[in-house]
Amino acid sequence: MTDRAWFDAAKGDIPQWAASMPKDADGTTIDWDWVRSLDLAHGVGTIPESTPQSIHDALKADYATREHLESIIAQCNSTFMTDYDRFIGSYRLPRALAYANRRLNDNINTLLHLGEQQHLWVVSRERRGRTTVAVLRPYSGSRPSNDDQGMLNLSGETGDASAGNTAAENSDVKFPTTVALDDIQDRTAAILDARAERRKAQRFQKRAGDAAMARANLSGATSPGGAASSGNATGHHPKPDWRDAYLPGRDVDAVMGIDIETTGIDPARDYIIDVGFEFMNMASPRPAGEPETYAYEQGYYAAGDAYGQSRLAFGVPPENAALGNALIAKLTGIDVRGRSSEAGYRLFDEWPQAQAGLLARLTQQPYVAHNATFEHSWFMLNVAGYAESYRAGRITIIDTLPMSRQWDPGAVPTNEHPYGDNTLDAYAKRQGALDSAHNERHLGLEDSHIMLVAMKHHLAALKAQGKGPWGSTGRAGVGGKSCGRKR
């Protein structure tokens, strides 16, 4: 199979998906013929002429395409995981759609930047509801100046008007700023908010139905939703949470810790640029024959019980590299301007061998991450075979975030942190894995290391106290979250 042949194979799966998923995440009937018509391998974005109306029209078309694609991608996970008859054999179609959507998102950001250059609008990145969106405002002669805005490094309308007018006068581009902006605003926040409200209403209906059934059966004490939870007896008595499914069991031992760095937070829009992982045994001795030392970026890190360390660097498409990403550069030290595929960096979503190698490691033993649903969501849309392996029960995930929330009495709720400060930085410091004088590095391998050290320290303390996995609510076995497996 050639490098791009999997896109044709992915489209070959459309009949399976169409039969199982007639509607997208927003309840709209999916036009599968439209999906079949897309050139997923070579791009679904619009390349316009450099005129104001052409740029406007291209941006409007790309936003519409992205909305359609992302509403389909958002529904694929639940459809695939609840396909109990295994009618859908592969997850490659959602991966192919996400691949195309990332390049489309790059094209959108390029158009936004082009409009800025031609003084058609000013772009600001604003947090609205559940996400951050690009907000367009009329150009008013302002000078973009905020380096913390993220990918485009653009600010709002305030600034030195005279300096901005001078820039406009010196520009080689002399287009009038008459394009309409109302129909090319990013609607992502409104879409996600509406989607969340529908899910909330569905959950309310389910709870009401469960409660009614419990009353009818006179069994409210044991029926779902019939009895209030009392939490567990640790420190600040945190309430049970869906993340508790990712807690380790009392027999957990050999695990692989993993952390990824990305160009953003959306696996359907952004790229994996750094992966770090290592292994550690929580109970048994470190394997004999493994190298005794490893040089982390932080000289004060000691390998200790860790072994099998690996650091992998990946690139981004030229269009993404050209825009830069000041926010990620500041956070991780990785400047994507030097990570272009033209500079020799391989893209993770175009490197089958790298995906296969990572999948082999993820299936050998439980993998551990801090806020593991983040890594899981990225692997679903980037790693060939991951979704299929997870659904088949070949992958077990352990999360140190609920360990911090549920079993660490130092995670005291505050106004700023209603569930306690459970960042990896805070958790590692409380568990003696990171010195208070230093901070989390935000690189895959270094963050994996402090996470595993913290987990091992924490488990040892819990065992000595008879708490956590060894408490009344703990469980035997490895623990963690997996599918297709009964305990």
The whole-number pLDDT of residue 236 equals: 59
Which residues 6+ apart lie within 8 Å of 257 measured at CB?
A: 277, 278, 279, 280, 367, 368, 369, 448, 449, 451, 452, 455
Tell me which of 339-343, 370-374, 376-380, 460-464 is least confident: 339-343
**Would the pLDDT of 461 be above 60?**
yes
Q: Mean pLDDT over all residues of the chain? A: 87
Mean pLDDT value of segment 306-323: 96
Q: Is the pTM of this model over 0.85?
A: yes
Region of residue 251 (left: phi > 0; alpha: psi -120 to 50; beta: else) = alpha
Mean pLDDT value of segment 119-133: 92
Nearest to 403 by CA among 192, 228, 255: 255
Q: Alpha helix locations (H) across 324-385?
A: 326-332, 352-362, 372-382
